[in-house]
Structure formats: C-alpha cells, structure tokens
Amino acid sequence: MAWAKLGTTTLASPTSSLDITGTTPAKFNTMMLHTTGSQASVGTSGAFRLGNGSFDSGSNYASRESINSGSDGTRTSQSNMYCFPNHSSGSDNGFLVGYICNISSEEKLIIWFQTVDDTNSGSGSIGDRMEAVGKWTNTSVQADQIQMYNSLSRTFSTDSNFTLLGTD
C-alpha cells in the first residue's frame, strides 16, 4: 500500500477556506491541517465538507465530537462536519490529523483528532484538544475534493496548510 500526496494548499494570504480540489479519488485518505495565526485571527471554528465535482453543502453530514474529554456533542443532518473548537483567546496555531474511508458505494467515514492547539501559551497551560467521528452520507461517488473552512466567517492566517494523502 503506497501513499501519495493527492493535494495541498498553503495560504499566501488570509482567507476563509483551504480547498483541495481535482484530486484522483482514493479509498483511504489521511488529512493534515496546520493553522497559524495571532490575536487578530482568533475566532476560528473549523468545519469541513467533501464533494465530487463540487462541495456538498446539503444536510448530508453527521458527527460526534468531544472537546477536552467532555461530554459528546452530536450533530445530525448538517451541512458540514465540525472539526475544531471556537478559539476565543490566545493564538490560532493548531494541528489536526484525520482519516477518511472513501469507498464509492458506502457512506464516507471520518475520524479526526485535533492533537495540538495553543490557545493558551506557556508551560503552565494546556491547549484544547478534540476527538471526533463523522460521516458523509453520499453512497454514489468517491469524494474528489475536500474543503476546510471557517464556519464563523473569519479567516485562516497566511501559511496555514492543508494536505491530503491517499491510497487504495
């Protein structure tokens, strides 16, 4: 099983989404997101969408997430999957790793971990973390694009990077 980079996006200027489009679909995917930022861009609340030819913004997503080992939050019949918490202070530096099972005749299953988040600086504080699972209910195609976007109409900072790997 050989992994290949299907796409990557690194921001040259602030924008509200990081899109990877026109990929060759793969059955198994790994996604990695690194967000950068400072006080000016605080307020990021990340969400993502999949699609084939265009991003699906219909009510075709369901997810369950836990922030800092708290109670699960459940979202059904949504237009996106929530993937990291709303930052209210500090910086917006974070790192997310996720996995997608992208078989055309099945619902697309996703699991992701926000493993690093430095909303609070210094060794005396620990950043937020999030674990989540979700699905895109499309059972007729493989996803050939993915969009990570800011659901609060704010921007990701310059040098934020989104990368997608895949294998069959």
Query: Tens of pLDDT along the chain (168 residues)?
Result: 689 999 999 999 988 889 999 999 999 999 998 887 653 444 456 788 999 999 999 999 999 988 778 888 888 999 988 776 555 444 557 788 999 999 999 999 999 887 566 666 667 767 777 888 999 999 999 999 999 887 666 777 888 899 999 998
Buried-state track 97-114, b at ≥16 Cβ within 10 A, e below 16: ebebebeeeeebebebeb
Residues 6+ apart with CB under 8 A from 54: 145
d(Cα 149, Cα 37) in Å, to the nearest integer?
15
What pLDDT, on the 0 to 100 scale, is given for residue 5? 95
- Beta strand extents in the chain (DSSP E only): 4-10, 17-20, 28-35, 46-51, 61-67, 73-78, 81-84, 94-101, 108-117, 130-136, 145-150, 161-167
Check if the beta carbon of residue 160 is closer than 8 Å to that of residue 35: yes
The structural domains of the chain, with segments of one domain joined by +, span: 18-105+126-150
pTM score, whole prediction: 0.85
What pLDDT, on the 0 to 100 scale, is given for residue 43? 46
What pLDDT, on the 0 to 100 scale, is given for residue 85? 56
What pLDDT, on the 0 to 100 scale, is given for residue 168? 87
Residues 6+ apart with CB under 8 A from 48: 80, 81, 83, 146, 147, 148, 149
